Amino acid sequence: MGEDKAATPLLPLAVRQGISHAVSASQRRSLVSRLVLVVVVTAVLYCLLVVSSSSLPARQQVLNANIYVDQHTDAPAPPPPAPTRVQTTTTEAPFHAATTMKAETGPHQLHFRQPPRSVVVVRRGGDVQLDCRVESKPHAIVTWYKDGDNFLTMGGRTYVDDSRISAHGLNWALRIRDVKMTDAASYTCHMALASDGIVNVELDVIPAIGDEELPAPRMTSKLGDILVPGFETTPDVCPEEGTNRELLIGLVSHPQYVTSRDRVRNTWLQLLDKRTWAAVFVMGSISPAIMEGNKDEAKKHGDVVIGKFRDVSAEPYTEGVKRLALLNWVIEHCRFANFTLVATHNEFVNPTLLKTLIKDLNPDEPAIYGITGGNRTVARDPNDPSYLSYASYQRSQLPEYTSEPTFLVSRAAVGMLTEAAASINAIPLYHILLTGIAAEKAGVKRVHMPQLFKASQSIEACDFEKFAVGHSWGEPLDKKVAKKIESGKGC
């Protein structure tokens, strides 16, 4: 009986403890469920907020860090009404190398969730949004600049006295309402924690539908302003400023392509009559170390012209700058040469046929000789390799020009071309700029000479009996072709 009495009060206590434990577990499960629900709802609301706030202008979307474009226009077939919405076109630039740009700063890694370069096209009077999509820890401070030095926004604040321009903090967007022709520019988004962290957006403004008079575009860079004057090396290939030179061959090259230049020296360059002909390679510089090697090469061979401009292939105006530098060098050091052949180190030249082509030409007649073309509609689609912005070229038709990469310039035309080219807008299409736009402005005529250059690649020596210049296919074959030309036996 004593044991029964001792056990009796324990039973209610155990029951009470079990009930207490059960209630606590139930409460915990309920609390966890509520917390999960709150997190899910918060995440959904945040996603909806981001999507709604980061929507782009009409028909412009960003997917998977690449920019895709719906090319359909909002305007119906002509005659179109005044547009109520703006068609905005965004594409990657041709030289784009990666879809996501990353920058390391200490322990933090910063990402741009879009290509580092893009082009946006908008009609005058419309609205446009330029995005700078950033992922960062901690949150980065982003600033926008116009044409490199005009400070516009920082974070979500605007620091320019223009009510049309505003900043949007969620996706670091720059918004411009009622776009003007003067808004066409290069806009750069900088990330504060990464010195190399930038996104560049080129805004091209085209006339509004129905514009009777084309509004004046913004001022763009002149080719003469981009070219740094002067030369690091000046080979002595034109005694008395080229008084006895029938032809100077200027081969556009690149600092690192030493092997290509040696191939030329070991093949067709051996066929030149050094008494009346001369050849030089023209390039800029990319680093002090490589320039020292190029200077040693120039000292060894005496045929390298090194300009003081940056020779960076990714920069759009480099090829035009090189050719203008070549013509400037001719003016300074070989101005009495009858003709200048502009080509590249990738070409093979048949001196025998070239001599035949130029023997009856008049060097005092301002002319450019080559494969002529042109008089076609200007490409305004950024996807087109021949795209030209309205800011850089306002006319709807291109002038007559000679095809790249080879053309022949008379003595009388060299100075006229350099003067005209230095004062016109710089465009990436160097052959159109020099042999088209500059030639038209200077009054230099373009003469079709189909035998000067074979545009398609060929590996047959017989082709060089028909064309003075063609693509090289490497040193072994070039040597065989040179021997056939030298022997005079032909094919």
- Ordered per-residue pLDDT tens for the chain, 491 residues: 444 444 444 444 443 444 444 445 556 566 666 666 766 666 655 555 444 444 434 333 332 223 323 233 333 333 333 322 233 443 333 322 222 333 333 444 455 556 667 778 888 888 888 888 766 545 667 888 887 778 888 877 888 888 899 887 666 788 899 998 888 888 888 876 554 467 778 887 877 776 655 545 444 567 777 777 889 998 999 989 888 899 999 999 999 999 999 999 999 999 999 899 999 999 998 888 889 999 999 999 999 999 988 887 766 778 888 999 999 999 999 999 999 999 999 999 999 999 999 999 999 999 999 999 877 888 888 778 888 887 778 888 999 999 878 999 999 999 999 999 888 888 888 888 899 999 999 999 999 999 998 866 555 666 777 889 988 878 888 888 888 888 877 66
Pairing state of beta strands 142-146 and 185-191?
antiparallel
Spatial distance between the Cα atoms of 173 and 156, rounded to a whole number of angstroms? 9
Using the CB atoms, write b or e for 146-167: b if 16+ within 10 Å. beeeeebbeeeebeeeeeebbb
Kindly tell me the number of DSSP H helices and DSSP E strands found in the chain.
Answer: 11, 27
Spatial distance between the Cα atoms of 212 and 210, rounded to a whole number of angstroms? 6
Distances (CA, A) of 431 to 72, 370, 426, 487: 31, 11, 12, 35
Residues 187, 130: contact at Cβ < 8 Å? yes
Residues 358, 246: contact at Cβ < 8 Å? yes
φ, ψ of residue 252 to 5 degrees: the values are -70, 130
Find all residues with CB under 8 Å of 352, minimum gap 6, and list them: 271, 485, 488
Extended strands (E) in 253-291: 277-285
What pLDDT shows up at residue 15?
A: 39
Q: Give, as one character, the DSSP assignment of residue 452.
A: S
What pLDDT shows up at residue 192?
A: 66
**Domains assigned to the chain:** 60-206 (2.60.40.10), 223-487 (3.90.550.50)
What pLDDT shows up at residue 362?
A: 97
What pLDDT shows up at residue 111?
A: 57
What pLDDT shows up at residue 70?
A: 29
What pLDDT shows up at residue 448?
A: 95
What pLDDT shows up at residue 365?
A: 97
What pLDDT shows up at residue 474?
A: 85
Q: How high does pLDDT run on average in the chain? A: 75
| Sign of CA pseudo-dihedral 19, 20, 26, 30 | positive
φ, ψ of residue 19 to 5 degrees: the values are -65, -40
Q: What is the dihedral of CA 101, 105, 107, 111, to 10 degrees?
A: -20
Residue appearing with tokens 């070229």: 393
CB atoms < 10 A from the CB of 369, how many?
A: 26
| Sign of CA pseudo-dihedral 359, 470, 418, 184 | positive
